[in-house]
Amino acid sequence: MKGRIFLYTELIMKLFYRTVLLFFAAFAFLAGCHDRGRGAESGGAKAPADAKAIAETKALAGEAQVPAGEARVPGRIISSTPSATEIILGLGLGDRIVAADKYSLELPGLPAGAREIDFFYPDPEAILGLDPDIIISGEHNVYGAGDDPFKVLGESGIRLLYIPTSRSIANIRQDVLTIAETLGAGARGAELAAAMEGEIEKVAEIGRRISADPSFKKKTVYLEISPFPNPVTMGRETFLNEMIGIIGAVNVFADKTGWIAAGAEAILERDPDVILTNVNFIDDPTGEIKARRGFAGIRAVREGRVYVIDTDSSSRPSQHITLALRQMALAVYPEEYASLKDR
Q: What is the pLDDT of residues 138-165, one digit of tens each?
A: 665 555 455 666 677 767 767 777 778 8
DSSP 10-56: ---HHHHHS-HHHHHHHHHHHHTSS-------SS-SSPPPPHHHHHH
Domains of the chain and any CATH numbers: 13-190 (3.40.50.1980), 212-340 (3.40.50.1980)
User: What are 301-321's pLDDT values in tens digits?
Assistant: 999 999 999 999 999 999 999
Contact 175, 45 (CB under 8 A): no
Contact 33, 167 (CB under 8 A): no
Grade residue 39 by pLDDT with cuts at 50, 70 and 90.
Answer: very low
Task: Return d(Cα 29, Cα 147) in angstroms, integer.
Answer: 12
DSSP 50-75: PHHHHHHHHHHHS-SPPPTT--SS-S
Q: Position 234: which residue type?
A: M
> 175, 189, 171: which is closest to 136 by C-alpha?
175
Higher-pLDDT residue of 193 and 34 is 193
Higher-pLDDT residue of 7 and 233 is 233
User: What are 324-341's pLDDT values in tens digits?
Assistant: 999 999 999 999 999 998
pLDDT of residue 341: 85
pLDDT at 20 over 60: no
pLDDT at 299 over 80: yes
Please state which of the ranges 7-11, 112-116, 142-146 shows the lowest mean pLDDT. 7-11
> 115, 122, 94: which is closest to 179 by C-alpha?
94
Please state which of the ranges 58-62, 93-97, 165-169 shows the lowest mean pLDDT. 58-62
Q: Position 168: which residue type?
A: S
Please state which of the ranges 47-51, 102-106, 147-151, 189-193 shows the lowest mean pLDDT. 47-51
Kind plus residue range of the DSSP H or E element containing 6: none
Grade residue 31 by pLDDT with cuts at 50, 70 and 90.
Answer: very low
pLDDT at 232 over 80: yes
pLDDT of residue 207: 98
pTM above 0.85, yes or no: no
Task: Return d(Cα 19, Cα 67) in angstroms, integer.
Answer: 43
Query: What is the DSSP-derived secondary structure letter of residue 165?
Result: P
Residues pairing with 275 in the sheet? 222, 306
DSSP 283-332: S-HHHHHHTSTTGGGSHHHHTT-EEE--HHHHHS-STTHHHHHHHHHHHH
Torsion angle, alpha carbons of 310, 314, 316, 320, to 10: 70
User: What are 173-218's pLDDT values in tens digits?
Assistant: 999 999 999 999 999 999 999 999 999 999 999 999 999 999 999 9
Quick one: CA dihedral 50, 56, 58, 61, positive or negative?
Answer: negative
Grade residue 343 by pLDDT with cuts at 50, 70 and 90.
Answer: low
pLDDT of residue 46: 37
For the chain, what is the mean pLDDT?
81
pLDDT of residue 29: 33
Contact 187, 248 (CB under 8 A): no
pLDDT of residue 72: 60
User: What are 130-140's pLDDT values in tens digits?
Assistant: 988 877 876 65
End-to-end CA distance of the chain: 47
Please state which of the ranges 19-28, 130-139, 245-254 shows the lowest mean pLDDT. 19-28
